[in-house]
Amino acid sequence: MRRQRSTKIVATLGPSSSTYEMIRKLHESGADVFRLNMSHGSHDEIRERHRIIREVERDLDSNIGILADLQGPKLRVGVFANGSEELAEGARFRLDLGEAEGDATRVTLPHPEIFAVLEPGANLLVNDGKIRLKVVDCGKDFADCEVVAGGTISNRKGVNVPDVVLPLAALSEKDRDDLEFVCQLGVDWLALSFVQRAEDVTDARMLAAGRASILSKIEKPAAVKAFDEILKVSDGIMVARGDLGVELPVQNVPPIQKQLVRKCRAAAKPVIVATQMLESMIESPMPTRAEVSDVAAAIYEGTDAVMLSAESAAGQYPVEAVTTMDAVAQQVEADPTYREILVASRKVERSTVADGIVVAAREIAEATDIRAICCFTHGGKTALLTARERPGVPILALTPLRGTARKLTLSWGCNCYVVGTLSRFKQAVVNGARMARSKGFATEKDQIVVMAGVPFNVPGSTNILRIAPCEERLIFAADPE
């Protein structure tokens, strides 16, 4: 299913989008990757959604990526005797390890690891930052706080600790069980929550054991500080602006988003911009102008993908939300300014032969009448390097591995197709030309760029580039072997 845009769309599945009919509509409307949120739904529900996605994929003969988003450890206060209490600005409030129900002066915070690293002056954010507490005094089992921003505090509200690196693993016991479950199902991507350091990612990679690619969610200040190290050990990145906007001043999030997107592109690793992109469409068939501008800004920055969360999972208008994102992406990418921004932000990398090959392919395609860049890829690296260049012509990513094709559905501009195993470059040229014609990227009168590596089916061996005619008799005339 050919898209008329290069930016990809990730849609979260949930109560509003669990049937075959709805999932098929979402894919036909523009969803390239489906997100399974492990914070909601039983294993049986997740298994059924996975099965339906693969059924839609088979029925439409269209590669679909599946991203399983792990919940991560959840920090929450305990319960109150009255269910909730009002905290006034300037009042004192204690968090401790006591088991008694809470009142207007204290509540349980059943996480000794938090108290172990707290220091006076640290901030604690409750209920997505609606309540802000500043630590005045603390010990191994308590924190006496001043209420900086008051409001209603109630049972089991979430707690954010933005000022310290918590001695917590990114994977809880639930996450470990979920990780094994979805890897056995056969998901393509694992989104890792609560990442604070590169070691969090390597731990998850060991458990995944090559069965899924690892995408790190950047949602904590510690992750922003350690981003370069986290990026090195990740296969992709999600800029999770929800929690990031809670733990950091909201005005800091847009420049951080722009910086992270550019670093991901330079590293040839896909990046998703996520959270509250079309939030009003949970209840409205039309987005706000500000939301459209937000989605457009992420696309102008060159992000690989934009994501819908509750809009498609629990909203009243999931298809309309996907359709809106698709329309915004097409309109932005048709704007000449979009190409100007991509070119201006391009960081030329020529440290390897493969880097030089893909740069040459892009330059040739943009300087001549080339209709597409066709790359044969085993593990996906050649396609990722090509996508990093953000060429002005379509990318055909051809691979003998279904898993590679599904993984690349998250990458900018990649039109992914599964082909047979090749043994000679001549076969690559013929297959590339046939695919370009059959999928509508070129006619018999056109030319394409073909890239591949010899020996074939060896990851990272890209070393050949050829300008190939799409008319079959000309291919054989040019290369009679």
Active-site hit among 74, 76, 92, 434:
76
- 275 as an active site residue: the answer is yes
Q: Which residue in this structure is represented by tokens 């990513």?
A: 397
Alpha-carbon distance 83 to 354, whole Å?
A: 61
Closest CA to 327 of 2, 34, 63, 5: 5
Stretch (H or E) spanning 431: helix 425-438
**Secondary structure of the chain: what % helix, strand, coil (to 5)?**
40, 25, 35
Give the Å distances, CA to CA, from 425 to 170, 378, 390, 454: 44, 14, 25, 7
d(CA 398, CA 162): 44
Q: Is 205 a catalytic residue?
A: no
* DSSP summary character for residue 155: T
402 is catalytic: no
Of the candidates 275, 303, 386, 404, the residue annotated as catalytic is 275
Residue 217 appears among annotated catalytic residues: yes
* Contact yes or no for 281/317 (Cβ under 8 A): yes
HSE (side-chain half, CA atoms, 13 Å) at 237: 31
**What gap in Å lies between CA 167 and CA 315, rounded to an integer?**
36
Residue whose entry in the numeric block shows the structure tokens 């109560």: 15
* Rounded CA separation 370/367 (Å): 8
Annotated catalytic residue within 217, 258, 371, 407: 217
Q: Please give the Cα distance from 17 to 1 (Å, whole number).
A: 20
Catalytic residues: 35, 76, 217, 275
